[in-house]
Amino acid sequence: MDRISELPKHILQRILYFLSQEDAVRTSVLSKLWRNIWCTRPNLDFSDNTFKGNKRKFLSVLDTTLQRYCDQEDQGLCLEKFHLRISLDDPYQESVSLLEKWVPRFTTMGVKTFRLSVVSNNVHLDLSSVVFKAEPLKRLRLRSCNLGRDIPDNIPFVRLTQEILDKIISSCPLLTTMSFVDCRDLTSVKLETKLHKNLKRFTFHTTDECSVEIDDIPTLEKIDILGCKVHFHSHEFTNLEYLSLHSVEISSNSIEESDQVLCIDAPNVNYFEYMGNFTPSISFAPTSNKGRWSSNVRFYVQEVEDAQSCLVKLSKQLQALTNSEISLEIIQYSDDNIAHVGEDVLVLQGGGGDYKPVAVEHLKLNCIHVSSLPPFFNCLFCICRPKKITRRWWSTMQGELLIKREQKELIEYFCIIRERGIQDLEDLSIGILDNSRRKWKRLSLRGPISWESALLDVDRICIRLKWRESCESSSKLLEL
């Protein structure tokens, strides 16, 4: 016999352990000896996402395979890992009943690692009947699931309460990843120290009104929250590496009253992302300093009268992130607001000394009306020193003519900046992306620009700026 087929069965099972479900099952055709080894390997990995075949087939393959494993339980078959990703989009809800039938059954079969990922288009899923007491559950991801209890439609206000969720969670003590994306009827989530002893990754995205409370969970490595009210009871996250807050409202008692700053002490953070139309300055405590980390701020400018305070807030936030490589995106909704930011802001800030300009790796401009650019940039350059500025246009959203005009005005503005010079600016260059050839070329700034040919089919402009080391940092260098 050949060398591989001669190996003891448990070694062959171990080899198949490292294959995808599909590759493992296909070995059954190799020879008679291989026929049933796949269904004794210690892991099952099913995903309807990668399954080749229709949903009906997926469900029947899943059902048959699970049955085979169950039938062998009394022969000492040990299932170590069970990964299942399933969407509940079939019309007869067979997938829901399959989950309800098998998950409780399997989690008692000695599974050590169970990952469950459920995607549905608001199909109702009674979470408690599926994962209640699923002790080996390590990752739970739910997308667009309706988690309300099985209550008739005429009683619409009964929801999955915190209490029920807590019960489920406390019955799954090994949970390391918990992700709820667009799950209806989940109005409040509280991460409690005593319930989440192993929680590392927490994702919560919603468009509904909802609140998330986070206690002291020292194991947390990733927090990713979109669109709800967040209440931080703890500010120390020793292991936190990734923090993303999108369109969230930070509960006021999470913020230090005096300076309106949400302090997060995350010494191991390597990525911070913030997006929203208000600015909770998140400051990472001085210990948050090991190595380089990056931050990505998406900043909305919305109201006319607020533009000035917006910039002050933005400045505060950038100051708090000085230790990181900052990428900043500024998004403007309405047309005529930033233009009203007067030169006085510039004076106020330039002379105030409170806001030292912060180095920004990349500044992206999104939907900024060009006529408002000069005063806007004048202010912006007082609070930050971008090394690269890019602006992109989508021709479907704006007319060709308008785009051309904006591009011309943008370039003209920077030509003037280059000639007149501004504080600490050494040099700048302008690159334009030729849309059809997908190639960047540098725009020659010597002599007059022939706009017609220069701006033919351009959808992106990038300005690179070289700044002098600021006086302060050079004097610091001298001291050293």
Cα 279 to chain centroid, rounded: 18
Rule CB under 8 A: choose which of 56, 57, 466, 468 binds another protein. 57
Q: Taking CB under 8 A as the rule, does residue 18 contact another protein?
A: yes
Rule CB under 8 A: choose which of 9, 31, 156, 347 binds another protein. 31
- C-beta of 298: minimal distance to another protein in Å? 32
Say how far apart CA 280 and CA 362 lie, in whole Å.
21
Q: Taking CB under 8 A as the rule, does residue 51 contact another protein?
A: yes
Structure tokens given for 378:
């004048």
- C-beta of 49: minimal distance to another protein in Å? 14
Rule CB under 8 A: choose which of 9, 26, 105, 441 binds another protein. 26
Residue 4 or 456: the one with the smaller Cβ distance to another protein is 4
Q: Could you tell me if 43 and 19 are in contact, meaning their C-beta atoms sit under 8 angstroms apart?
A: no
Residue 52 or 437: the one with the smaller Cβ distance to another protein is 52
Exposed, middle or buried, 29 (CB in 10 Å: 0-12/13-18/19+)?
Answer: exposed
Say how far apart CA 346 and CA 355 lie, in whole Å.
11
Among positive and negative, which fits the CA dihedral 357, 361, 366, 370? positive
Residue 42 or 227: the one with the smaller Cβ distance to another protein is 42
Number of Cβ within 10 Å of residue 61's Cβ equals 16
List C-alpha distances in Å: 297 to 42, 138, 206, 277, 326: 44, 31, 20, 11, 7
Rule CB under 8 A: choose which of 9, 53, 333, 442 binds another protein. 53
Q: Which residues, 6+ apart, have CB-to-CB distance to 290 below 8 Å?
A: 267, 268
Q: Could you tell me which stretch among 6-14, 94-102, 211-219, 271-279 binds another protein (CB under 8 A)?
A: 6-14
Q: Own/partner pairs for 403-407, CB < 8 Å, 24+ apart?
A: 403/459, 404/451, 404/455, 405/370, 406/370, 407/455, 407/458, 407/461
Q: Taking CB under 8 A as the rule, does residue 7 contact another protein?
A: yes
Q: Could you tell me which stretch among 7-15, 131-139, 206-214, 224-232 binds another protein (CB under 8 A)?
A: 7-15
Kindly state the helix (H) or strand (E) to which residue 404 belongs, with its residue range. helix 400-420
Say how far apart CA 286 and CA 316 lie, in whole Å.
16
- C-beta of 50: minimal distance to another protein in Å? 10
Residue 11 or 285: the one with the smaller Cβ distance to another protein is 11
Structure tokens given for 412:
């003209």
Q: Taking CB under 8 A as the rule, does residue 275 contact another protein?
A: no
Q: Taking CB under 8 A as the rule, does residue 8 contact another protein?
A: yes
Number of shown-chain residues binding another protein (CB under 8 A): 34
What Rg value do the Cα atoms of the chain yield, rounded?
A: 28
Q: Taking CB under 8 A as the rule, does residue 35 contact another protein?
A: yes
Q: Could you tell me which stretch among 52-60, 67-75, 193-201, 207-215 binds another protein (CB under 8 A)?
A: 52-60
Q: Could you tell me which stretch among 19-27, 99-107, 163-171, 405-413 binds another protein (CB under 8 A)?
A: 19-27
Q: What sections of 146-292 are H helices per DSSP?
A: 162-170
Q: Taking CB under 8 A as the rule, does residue 25 contact another protein?
A: yes
- C-beta of 456: minimal distance to another protein in Å? 43
Q: Taking CB under 8 A as the rule, does residue 22 contact another protein?
A: yes
Say how far apart CA 339 and CA 303 lie, in whole Å.
12
Say how far apart CA 112 and CA 134 lie, in whole Å.
11
Footprint (CB under 8 A) of another protein, residues 110-169: none
- C-beta of 57: minimal distance to another protein in Å? 6
| Three-class secondary structure of residue 451 per DSSP | helix
Residue 198 or 395: the one with the smaller Cβ distance to another protein is 198
Q: Taking CB under 8 A as the rule, does residue 61 contact another protein?
A: yes
Rule CB under 8 A: choose which of 9, 14, 340, 442 binds another protein. 14
Say how far apart CA 12 and CA 38 lie, in whole Å.
9
Q: Taking CB under 8 A as the rule, does residue 5 contact another protein?
A: yes
Q: Could you tell me if 129 and 160 are in contact, meaning their C-beta atoms sit under 8 angstroms apart?
A: no
Q: Could you tell me which stretch among 5-13, 82-90, 102-110, 188-196 binds another protein (CB under 8 A)?
A: 5-13
Residue 291 or 353: the one with the smaller Cβ distance to another protein is 291
Interior angle at CA 19, CA 18 and CA 21, nearest 5? 130
Residue 14 or 392: the one with the smaller Cβ distance to another protein is 14
- C-beta of 225: minimal distance to another protein in Å? 29
Residues that bind another protein (CB under 8 A): 1-5, 7-8, 10-11, 14-20, 22-23, 25-32, 34-35, 51-53, 57-58, 61
